Amino acid sequence: MQTRFKPIYGYGWFDRSELIDEPPPFQIEGAPDGAGRVEGLIAEQDHPLTGMWVALTIRTSGEPTNYNVEAFLNRADESPTITGFATALP
């Protein structure tokens, strides 16, 4: 299942500790698990997060559901490279 997300400003988007512009909407392969976590690889071409492993955890539930976003260069990395917030798109 593919899930689309629209980044929102929240407290900002950061590349490590540097404030960056929020990226455009993105799509990942995956659906929320029982704990409300969504993980997947962004494979869209020409997207700033292309090739990154993204983990999204529910920040606020309801309509729409908002997520904390952590983007990793490699799935095995312990610390995310990019962090931000996104809302699920229908």
**How far is the first Cα of the chain from the last one, in angstroms, to the nearest whole number?**
13
pTM reported for the whole predicted model: 0.88
Instruction: Please list the pLDDT of the chain residue by residue as tens digits (90 residues).
Output: 678 899 999 889 999 999 999 999 999 987 678 888 889 998 788 999 999 999 999 998 888 889 999 999 988 899 999 999 999 888
Cβ 86 vs Cβ 13: under 8 Å: no
**Strand partners of residue 67:** 58, 86
Domain boundary assignment for the chain? 2-88
Distance CA 23, CA 74 (A): 19
